Amino acid sequence: MPTARAWREYPQRYRYEAAVCKKCGKWHFPPRLVCDACKGEEFETRVMRRTGTVVVSTVVRVPPAQFKDQAPYAMAIVRMDDGPSITTQIVDWQEAQLKTGAKVKLEFRRISDDGEAGTINYGYKAVPV
């Protein structure tokens, strides 16, 4: 990931900041400029709770080259307790924990690196509760 992009995503990756529409109250993660529910353009920044529920999950057994050393790994769409849905990797899992409705919490973990001398990128991953 280019350094400039990583820098812009720090509030979401490190502080779990979401945008809450001032007009209708819908949570957006990552933040956006226009609310998809009411077309409002004014937002308040709030920190999300770090807990949620798995909506759907899958196990990636043939990953992209960048993640080949992590295979097999689990990915899921998680409905956060504050409302937004996020796509994230699930770590420290067993097969029985990858079911719809499973409770997870977000933790701060290493995501990737840009080579031996490059930037190490950190962010959130879900852990079964």
DSSP string, 55-119: EEEEEESS--GGGGGG-SEEEEEEEETTS-EEEEEE-S--GGG-STT-EEEEEEEEEEESSTTSP
Q: What is the pLDDT of residues 42-99, one digit of tens each?
A: 999 999 999 999 999 999 999 998 888 889 999 999 999 998 999 999 999 998 889 9
d(CA 22, CA 16): 19
Name the residue range of residue 106's domain. Answer: 3-128
CATH number at residue 39: 2.40.50.840
The count of domains in the chain is 1
Positive or negative: CA dihedral 113, 129, 51, 99? positive
Q: What is the pLDDT of residue 114?
A: 75
Q: How many residues are there in the chain?
A: 129
